[in-house]
A and B are shown apart, each in its own frame.
Chain A
Amino acid sequence: MTALTRRAVVATGLAAPFVARAETGPGVIVVGGGFGGASVARALRRYGENMDITLVEPNETFIACPFSNLVVAGVRTIDSQQFGYKQLVADGIRVIHAAVIGVDPTRRRVTLASGESRPYDRLILSPGIDIAWGALPGYDEAASTRMPHAWKAGAQTLLLRKQLEAMPDGGTVVMSVPPNPYRCPPGPYERASLIAWYLRGAKPKSKLIVLDSKDAFSKQKLFQAGWARMYPNILKWVSQSDGGTVTGVEPATLTFRTDFESYKADVANVIPPQKAGHIAAVAGVADKTGWCPVDPITFESRLIPGIHVIGDAAIAGAMPKSAFAANAQAKVCALAVARLLVGATPDEPRLINTCYSLVAQGYGISVGAVYRPVNGLLAEVPGSAGTSPLDAPDQFRYQEAQNADAWFDRITHEAFG
């Protein structure tokens, strides 16, 4: 059924308000149970009382990426990063722990790994990222067991932690950072900060070299001010212009190659190129960039009607790939879907992003902005975007670190209960 005829059906429904209420309302399937997926399922429940909502997610436990750099630094346990889906079930959301292996946008059905096929009126994909294996020469899945990416939290996070613990004092940690776009723009620099913080305390003769494919990055001045003050003899950032672009890696020797030289590491952290989670390509909503173009009002795919994409997988213009953004997009998308299902027109939204990074324990910095649709993409509302001040006193940095803690508690509570 095409989108147009579906709208006609909805319109017919609208014209017949005395039709008996259906036993089950329209069905929405959400694929992916991270910050975006869990948040959108719960928001749909708030906006559509008798909507039939299904969340499909292979894992029974979600492991959050925000704050996982503190696990890498050894000051937070992986347990505190883990969340389940019990509250979603209690909310009346059907949670199926399975992989989706097929999407038929014409018949509006998804196929699970078991072979079971389930119908939907609207499908919302929140698949996060996949590593683009092979995009960086030498970096495949096997390489990640020696040179962890730790860019999906869990076993990889713990592997990187273990390697840092095992490294003798005086060792060299090398990290590579990919070109934009990737999950969590300031994430590599927070990780660099917290690894340097760990080294300063536990292995002060060690070095950290950050090889970057860019010359500029999120919260750059704030990070660099913190680095100059706290880690001047430990952390060295090599920009693209200074030859930082990594052109390949050799897992056997833990070596990073650039156009100019090779860096041999004792601990190697490759933050690799990424793309939208696999199901996006299966569903046909990813374009040749590997990411998903969407309408910024409804988050409906520009490629396939009836499928919405939120979170890291979506091309959201100026809005970064962050947990806060995924959660904000989830709530806007849920309201838009609820309105579309009754044939109403969604309002033009405003979305907020706030993102904290830690430069050390108890030393936080932030960036925030308000976004609105402009020419088909989300753009910053003028005057709303920016970082916290460069010259703030330590008490301010401490307050921002406290706010980061509060934010994590709050957003995980909203997404997972």
Chain B
Amino acid sequence: MIARLTLAAVLLCAAAPPPGASSCSGCHGPAAQLPVLAGRPVADTVAAMDAFRAGTRPATVMDRIAKGFTPAETQAIAAWWAEATP
């Protein structure tokens, strides 16, 4: 073994992303022309996802992606991104 594996050996980020959240940065992020999710108020992200799911907000792919998450999952993802640093 190369190292003693202690609890301190791997410092897991206290706020590990909830299921689904880590995929978002494949499109959304500092180099993107899309909305930046990091630091965005929870209510804004949840409202956008609700509107995408309902088909009331124009979208190219988010109408489908939004349907892949339950309201609880969406809430968790939005909350994690709100706390993330850009």
Residues of A that sit less than 8 Å from B by CB: 1, 9-10, 13-14, 16-17, 19-22, 24-27, 43, 46-52, 108, 119-121, 324, 327-328, 331-332, 335, 338-339, 341-342, 344, 347-352, 354, 366, 368-370, 372, 380-381, 383-386, 388, 396, 399-400, 402-403, 406-407, 409-411, 413-414
* Chain B neighbourhood of A349, CB < 8 A: 19-20
| A1/B1 in contact, CB under 8 A | yes
Q: CA–CA, A46 to B62, complex, Å?
A: 26
* Chain B neighbourhood of A19, CB < 8 A: 4, 6-8
Q: Which residue in chain A gives the minimum CB-CB distance to B53?
A: A383
Of A338, A350, A354, A400, which is within 8 A of B10 by CB? Answer: A338
B41, CB-defined interface residue at 8 Å: no
A–B complex contacts, Cβ < 8 Å, 29 sampled: A9-B5, A14-B7, A21-B9, A22-B5, A26-B9, A43-B22, A47-B12, A48-B11, A49-B11, A50-B9, A51-B9, A119-B1, A121-B2, A328-B22, A331-B25, A339-B16, A342-B9, A344-B12, A352-B20, A352-B23, A352-B26, A354-B61, A369-B65, A381-B68, A383-B64, A388-B60, A406-B27, A406-B32, A410-B28
Of B2, B26, B67, B73, which is within 8 A of A407 by CB? Answer: B26
Provided the pairs A16-B6, A348-B19 are in contact, do residues A328 and B60 lie with their beta carbons within 8 angstroms? no
B13, CB-defined interface residue at 8 Å: yes
| B68/A409 in contact, CB under 8 A | no
| A368/B64 in contact, CB under 8 A | yes
Provided the pairs A370-B68, A410-B31, A413-B29 are in contact, do residues A17 and B7 lie with their beta carbons within 8 angstroms? yes
Q: CA–CA, A407 to B9, complex, Å?
A: 35
Of A52, A370, A380, which is within 8 A of B3 by CB? Answer: A52
Of A14, A338, A347, A388, which is within 8 A of B61 by CB? Answer: A388
Q: CA–CA, A48 to B16, complex, Å?
A: 11
* Chain B neighbourhood of A351, CB < 8 A: 20, 23
Of A43, A354, A383, A410, which is within 8 A of B29 by CB? Answer: A410
CB distance from B82 to the nearest CB of A (A): 18
Q: Chain B binding site: helix, strand, loop or mixed by DSSP?
A: loop
Greatest chain B CB density within 10 A among A19, A52, A399 is at A19
CB distance from A166 to the nearest CB of B (A): 37
* Chain A neighbourhood of B25, CB < 8 A: 331, 410, 414
Residues of B that sit less than 8 Å from A by CB: 1-13, 16-20, 22-34, 60-61, 64-65, 67-69, 73
Q: CA–CA, A211 to B17, complex, Å?
A: 44
Provided the pairs A51-B10, A350-B19, A352-B23 are in contact, do residues A27 and B64 lie with their beta carbons within 8 angstroms? no
* Chain A neighbourhood of B17, CB < 8 A: 331, 335
* Chain B neighbourhood of A338, CB < 8 A: 10, 12, 16
Q: CA–CA, A347 to B64, complex, Å?
A: 23
CB distance from B81 to the nearest CB of A (A): 14
Greatest chain A CB density within 10 A among B3, B29, B61 is at B61
Provided the pairs A47-B16, A48-B12, A342-B10 are in contact, do residues A324 and B26 lie with their beta carbons within 8 angstroms? yes
